């Protein structure tokens, strides 16, 4: 049975089942301009906390040896027996609520007075009408894309949809996304749909991960 780590803020208990390092594989399946892009990739996710009211998140993916990036074509730069780095992302996950005087920020400004929502009873007041908790997830990709997701956690399931996407002038077109995470038989299952490169929102990737620490 998974035990809550010592020092976990009460506000993170609804997200606590994500904590740890997860590793496994996933399937890429996306169609761009009528061309189907498929392949298997390795995936490692880390969720951690530092005593503050958010989870730290990082994700690293790699193409498996000789994994195809398009039907009939091997991965770019792939060689037999060698994995190819694919993509990374980093960010923060937190319950969605107005920031209060006791919260730090903006910038390096410290909070004033006691930190809010320090007890389970206080956190329960944040439940939404669906008996879950609204959450915010901010993610950054190295290719010049930043995503803000809004959604909810309800038990061992999380549903997210982009509320805003910020892109640099050199980023590839990326318009919207949804993500789904669930804990099933002690495995972290996830699915990611995107609208990118002029295509409408559609299936992009999914995976199954096991907790390794």
pLDDT at 13: 97
> pLDDT per residue over 60-73, tens digit each?
999 977 644 555 44
Q: Which residues contact 200 (CB under 8 A, 6 or more apart)?
A: none
| Candidates 3.40.50.720, 1.10.565.10, 2.40.128.20, 3.10.20.600; CATH matching 10-211 | 2.40.128.20
For the chain, what are the domain ranges? 10-211
Q: Which residues pair with 134 in a beta bridge?
A: 152
pLDDT at 82: 77
Closest CA to 84 of 68, 106, 103: 68
Give the pLDDT of residue 80: 53
Give DSSP secondary structure letters for 169-188. TTSPPEEEEEEEEEEETTEE
Q: What are phi and psi of 40, to 5 degrees?
A: -105, 145
- Give CA–CA dist 183/76, Å, rounded: 33
DSSP state for residue 200 in the 8-state scheme: P
Per-residue model confidence as pLDDT tens for the chain (213 residues): 556 677 899 999 999 999 999 999 999 999 998 999 999 999 999 999 999 999 999 999 999 776 445 554 445 444 456 789 999 999 999 999 999 999 999 999 999 999 999 999 999 999 999 999 999 999 999 999 999 999 999 999 999 999 999 999 999 999 999 999 999 999 999 999 999 999 999 999 999 999 997
Q: What is the pLDDT of residues 21-36, one digit of tens each?
A: 999 999 999 999 899 9
For residue 10, give the DSSP letter.
G
Q: Computed from CA positions of residues 156, 187, 36, 167, in that sequence, does the dihedral angle turn out positive or negative?
A: positive
The whole-angstrom separation of Cα 120 and Cα 10 is: 6
**197: alpha, beta or left, given left = phi > 0 and alpha = psi -120 to 50?**
left
- Whole-angstrom distance, CA of residue 190 vs CA of residue 145: 21
Query: Residue 11: its pLDDT value, please?
Result: 96
Tell me, what's the pLDDT at 83? 83
Instruction: Give the Cα separation of 89 and 79 in Å (integer).
Output: 25
CA dist., res. 68 & res. 73, Å (int) = 5
What whole-number distance in Å separates Cα of residue 204 and Cα of residue 213? 27
3-class secondary-structure state, position 17: helix
């Amino acid at each position: 049975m998974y035990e809550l780590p010592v020092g976990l803020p009460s506000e993170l208990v609804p997200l606590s089942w994500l904590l740890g390092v997860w590793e496994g594989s996933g399937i890429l399946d996306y169609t761009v301009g009528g061309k189907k892009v498929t392949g298997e990739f390795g995936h490692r996710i880390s969720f951690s906390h530092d005593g503050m009211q958010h989870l730290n998140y990082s994700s690293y993916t790699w193409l498996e040896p000789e994994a195809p990036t398009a039907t009939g074509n091997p991965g770019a730069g792939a060689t037999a027996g060698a994995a190819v780095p694919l993509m990374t992302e980093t960010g923060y996950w937190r319950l969605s609520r107005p920031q209060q005087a006791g919260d730090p920020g903006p910038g390096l400004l410290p909070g004033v007075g006691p930190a809010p929502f320090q007890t389970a009873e206080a956190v329960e007041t944040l439940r939404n009408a669906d008996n879950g908790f609204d959450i915010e997830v901010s993610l950054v990709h190295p290719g010049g894309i930043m995503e803000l997701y809004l959604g909810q956690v309800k038990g061992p399931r999380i549903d997210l949809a982009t509320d805003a996407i910020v892109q640099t002038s050199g980023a590839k077109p990326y318009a919207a996304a949804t993500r789904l995470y669930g804990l099933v038989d002690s495995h972290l299952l996830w699915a990611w749909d995107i609208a990118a490169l002029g295509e409408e929102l559609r299936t992009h990737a999914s995976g199954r991960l096991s907790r390794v620490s």
